Amino acid sequence: MDPVSQTSEEEIVDTPDADHLGKMIREARLKKGWTLEEAGKAAGIGRSTLSKIENNQTRPSFDIVRRLTKALELRTPQLFVQSGPSDISGRRDVTLAGQGEPQDTPTYFHELLCTELTSKRMFPYISTIKARDVSEFESWIRHRGEEFMYVISGELTFFTEHYKPLPMKAGDSVYYDSGMGHGCVSTSKEDAKVLWVSLE
């Protein structure tokens, strides 16, 4: 196999991961240095309930888990980890310069990166923004999630709902709620090039 593009889609057997949850919660609680009583109070649940959850003696309701994640400031995605064909553990995916998967729209020329790794959670892509006048700005893009943008080259104006237009140049970056309307136009003579990383 080509050493550069090693994304293999091997089938992995499913395992129950039954006692994963309790372990994680106990870990998070101890990390905060809390007793069952304290953590329970912070999350609004009884200490006996929490004890049983941590020892996997019960299947808690989604509500309870949600309250716990908030109180303990737990990262939620990892609570759902279940082994299966769709996780990226022990994998990597390389895309060489200019070798991304092209995807065009009227305004942007997108190049999707690392598309072999279908189960990844972030979506990186490079966009070429065609040079044109600021006045031509048309409609907002809007999609659930958050997004990071880094200007690789050129100059552009980045628009966000509720904010003033933002002039940007190579090396600048912005992080924003992509649920807000957003979009950008090149303000230099040449096309501008940006790297986007999107997370739903």
Partner DNA sequence: GCGAAAAGTTTCTTATAAGAAACACAAGTT
Partner DNA sequence: AACTTGTGTTTCTTATAAGAAACTTTTCGC
Q: Residues binding a copy of itself: what is the number (CB under 8 A)?
A: 67
Looking at the Cβ atoms of 95 and 127, the one nearer to a copy of itself is: 95
Can you tell me the distance from the alpha carbon of 41 to that of 29, in angstroms, rounded to the nearest whole number? 12
Minimum CB distance to DNA smaller for 3 or for 33: 33
Between 33 and 171, CB nearer to a copy of itself: 171
* Contact residue for a copy of itself among 42, 131, 141, 174 (CB under 8 A): 174
The one of DNA, a copy of itself, none whose footprint includes residue 84, by CB under 5 to 8 A per kind, is: a copy of itself
Q: For the range 69-74, what are the long-range contacts, defined as Cβ-Cβ under 8 Å and sequence gap of 24 or more?
A: 70/43, 71/39, 71/42, 71/43, 71/44, 72/25, 72/28, 72/29, 72/32, 72/39, 72/42, 72/43, 73/28, 74/24, 74/25, 74/28
- 3-state DSSP call for residue 25? helix
Residue 154 contacts a copy of itself per CB under 8 A: no
Compare residues 22 and 108 and give the one whose CB is closer to a copy of itself. Answer: 22
Least Cα distance to 159 among 188, 174, 177, 181 occurs for 181
How near is the Cβ of 85 to a copy of itself at its closest, in Å? 11
Residue 193 tokens read as 């090039």
Q: HSE-up of 77 (CA within 13 Å, CB side)?
A: 7
Tell me which residues in 100-119 interact with a copy of itself (CB under 8 A).
113-114, 117
Cβ distance to DNA smaller for residue 59 or 142: 59
Which residue among 36, 95, 127, 194 contacts a copy of itself (CB under 8 A)?
A: 95
CA 47/CA 104 separation, integer angstroms:
55
Residue 73 DSSP symbol: T
**Distance in Å, CB of 22 to DNA, minimum:** 10
Site residues for a copy of itself per CB under 8 A: 3-4, 6, 21, 59-66, 69-70, 75-80, 82, 84, 88-98, 113-114, 117, 120-122, 124, 144-146, 148, 150, 152, 160-164, 166, 169-177, 179-180, 195, 197, 199-200
